[in-house]
Amino acid sequence: MAEKIGTWFAATFSWLPKEAVVFIVSMLPLVELRGGLILAPLFGIPIWKAVMICLVGNIIPIPFILWFITPIFTWMKGTRLFKPIVEKLEAKSMGKSDRIQKYEFWGLVLFVGIPLPGTGAWTGALIASLLNIRIKKAFPAILIGLLLATTIMCTITYLIPWIISNVAA
């Protein structure tokens, strides 16, 4: 499955260097760093380069979400067109916020860091904004969470395949 997705990205964005494709994927909500670290080994990108590309790609949107999402959502809720979309997004995000509310910093670290569906830096930043967690607390927690997610994903996508190929050889 991952190989099919990687092939699709490679074919669709064949005019871009593979590193740029991994960077863009790492910036996208839902797939984020996790998706980039799945694509990178499929594209033959070395682990050190993949980590740098994916971290930077995933970090770039976070300050903008933390600073601007609340005023943007407030404006959007004032329109008939966007109000239902924003309310649904807020409800879905806040439905995952119980641990973050309870443990704040460490809850946010674990929420961003454990690679499960619906978690990650985008959703973590959105929840932090909706819970009014100060940026000085939220941003470092998200960064630590990204380092945790990077470690887990590199283990899955680089280390385990390396061990398997060397044990089998």
pLDDT digits (tens, 9 = 90+) for 16-51: 999 999 999 999 998 999 999 999 999 999 999 999
- 45 plus 117 within the same structural domain: no
DSSP state for residue 16 in the 8-state scheme: S
Per the domain annotation, does 161 fall within a domain?
no
Domain housing 131: 61-148
Whole-prediction pTM value? 0.88
162 occurs within a structural domain: no
Number of domains in the chain: 2
- Answer yes or no: is 19 within a domain: yes
In a shared domain, residues 65 and 54: no
Same domain, 33 and 67: no
59, 81, 107 - which closes a domain: 59
Q: Are residues 12 and 87 in the same domain?
A: no
Q: What DSSP state is assigned to residue 95? A: T
Q: Domain check: are 29 and 93 in the same one?
A: no
Average pLDDT, the chain: 91
- Residue 1 reports pLDDT greater than 70: no
92-127 burial, b if ≥16 CB within 10 A, otherwise e? ebeebbeebeeebeebbbbbbbebeeebbbbbbbbb
Taking alpha carbons only, the member of 117, 113, 116, 124 closest to residue 63 is 124
Contact indicator for 146, 121 with CB cutoff of 8 Å:
yes
Q: Above 90 in pLDDT, residue 149?
A: yes
Please check the confidence at residue 3 and state whether its pLDDT lies above 70: no
Q: Are residues 132 and 116 in the same domain?
A: yes
Find where tokens 């601007």 sit.
68
Both 27 and 47 in one domain: the answer is yes
Are residues 52 and 109 both part of a single domain? no
pLDDT tens by residue, 70-101: 999 999 999 999 999 999 988 988 887 888 88
Q: CA–CA separation, 155 vs 27, rounded Å? A: 21
Cα atoms in the Cβ-side hemisphere of radius 13 Å centred on 92: 10
Q: 101 vs 155, which has greater pLDDT?
A: 155
Predicted local distance difference test score (pLDDT) of residue 127: 93
Is there a single domain that holds both residue 121 and residue 134? Answer: yes
142 and 68 in one domain? yes
Q: Examine the pLDDT at 148 and tell me if it is beyond 80.
A: yes
Question: How far is residue 19's CA from residue 117's CA, in Å, rounded to a whole number?
Answer: 24
